[in-house]
């Protein structure tokens, strides 16, 4: 899972599909998937390498315990951005254990995307740095070429100010200017899907923005979400909520495809269940692109074991937040035995 190869250029951007509950309508199914991951041999093997283990008896308490443990040993960001995380080196044995645990929550596609992923009513390309936006937009482009037909494509972003690295990439690929994350997302979608470049008329004046990139054959819209209360910038959950507000009505008949990077998909899928599926009943399918298979050498890369550990931490935290909301919405769910 950690080392998808870039040697098969004819395959395009390689991706994996989240193998987890796809809707919050079946709360017990979500609970079973959480328990299965927490109770797996792979989870036990990874934590044992750090001298830790999960001992709590119920799903909720075990999630809280895993959250605390992962904060102690896997949180290399300490409140900073991902690119500001402390650099750490780990043994091949640890990398193998990480790959095993991540593999528990993914499966790799065996067929064409319209068969594997169905017919999504909405395709959500999640934001991030320009590199991440490009990788995800390239995957979307490949999926469209292979026959996927979402009803509407949305690029989710924020007003996070672009950093020097993003300006450099935009200049080298001639897709600038990129001032903030929404610019990065719109530039990436325009680049990967061969759309005309667009810019905001009053850029930076509003806290949120809806930017139309294309009307046909598939509508493409960029969104900049406002940061939630107490946050410096909009989070993934903020962008999900702004999407719901903009695209409403979203119902249980909707099928929402999340397009992101493989390393981030586990936590973003859990957040999608909490923020998109729980209030609407919609079905969530999440796919993650592998960075080593990116088409542009500028954005092609390889995630480190430390980065994967950080995102295991994020997945656990997101599952805990999602599970708390699930229990509140379904009081009869209770906090059942984890084993």
Residue 69 within a domain: no
pLDDT of residue 176: 82
Domain that holds residue 164: 12-20+108-300
Give per-residue pLDDT as tens, 169-186: 999 999 989 999 999 999
Q: Give the chain's domain count.
A: 1
Q: Distance (Å, rounded) from C-alpha 222 to C-alpha 208?
A: 11
**72 vs 52, 76, 78, 226, CA distance in Å?**
11, 9, 10, 31
pLDDT values of the chain reduced to their tens digit, one per residue, 339 residues: 555 555 444 568 999 999 999 999 999 999 999 999 999 999 999 999 999 999 998 999 999 999 999 999 988 755 555 555 566 788 999 999 999 999 999 999 999 999 999 999 999 999 999 999 999 999 999 999 999 999 999 999 999 999 999 999 999 999 989 999 999 999 999 999 999 866 555 544 688 999 999 999 999 999 999 988 877 789 999 999 999 999 999 999 999 999 999 999 999 999 999 999 999 999 999 999 999 998 888 888 889 999 999 999 999 999 999 999 999 999 888 767 665
pLDDT of residue 218: 96
Residue 235 within a domain: yes
Residue 282 within a domain: yes
Residue 166 within a domain: yes
Give per-residue pLDDT as tens, 221-259: 999 999 888 777 899 999 999 999 999 999 999 999 999
Give the tokens for residue 123. Answer: 């395709």
pLDDT of residue 8: 47
Residue 171 within a domain: yes
Residue 258 within a domain: yes
Residue 316 within a domain: no
CATH number at residue 159: 3.40.50.620
Give the tokens for residue 152. Answer: 């509407």
Q: Are 226 and 234 in contact (CB under 8 A)?
A: yes
Residue 296 within a domain: yes
State the Cα angle at 136 between 134 and 139, rounded to 5°.
110
């Amino acid at each position: 899972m950690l080392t998808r190869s870039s040697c098969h250029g004819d395959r395009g951007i390689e991706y994996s599909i989240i193998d987890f509950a796809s809707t919050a309508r079946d709360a017990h199914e979500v609970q079973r998937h959480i328990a299965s991951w927490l109770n797996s041999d792979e989870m036990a093997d990874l934590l044992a390498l750090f001298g830790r283990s999960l001992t709590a008896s119920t799903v909720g308490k075990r999630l809280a315990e895993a959250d605390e443990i992962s904060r102690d040993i896997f949180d290399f960001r300490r409140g900073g951005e991902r690119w500001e995380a402390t650099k750490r080196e780990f043994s091949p044995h640890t990398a193998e254990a990480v790959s095993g645990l991540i593999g528990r929550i993914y499966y790799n596609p065996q067929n064409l995307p319209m068969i594997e992923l169905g017919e999504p009513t909405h395709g959500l390309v999640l934001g991030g740095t320009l590199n991440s936006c490009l990788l995800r937009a390239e995957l979307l482009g490949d999926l469209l070429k292979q026959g996927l037909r979402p009803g509407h494509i949305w690029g989710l972003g924020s007003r996070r100010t672009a950093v020097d690295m993003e300006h450099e990439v935009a200049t080298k690929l001639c897709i600038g200017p990129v001032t903030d994350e929404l610019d990065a997302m719109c530039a990436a979608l325009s680049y990967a899907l061969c759309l005309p470049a667009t810019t905001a008329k009053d850029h930076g004046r509003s806290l949120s923005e809806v930017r139309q990139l294309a009307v046909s054959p598939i509508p493409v819209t960029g969104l900049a979400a406002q940061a939630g209360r107490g946050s410096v910038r909009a989070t993934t959950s903020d962008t999900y909520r702004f999407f719901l507000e903009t695209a409403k009505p979203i119902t249980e008949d909707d099928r929402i495809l999340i397009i992101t990077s493989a390393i981030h998909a586990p936590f973003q899928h859990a957040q999608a269940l909490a923020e998109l599926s729980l209030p609407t009943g919609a079905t969530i399918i999440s796919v993650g692109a592998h960075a080593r298979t990116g088409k542009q050498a500028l954005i092609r890369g390889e995630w480190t074991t430390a980065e994967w550990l950080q995102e295991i931490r994020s997945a656990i935290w997101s599952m805990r937040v999602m599970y708390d909301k699930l229990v509140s919405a379904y009081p009869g769910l209770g906090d059942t035995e984890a084993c």
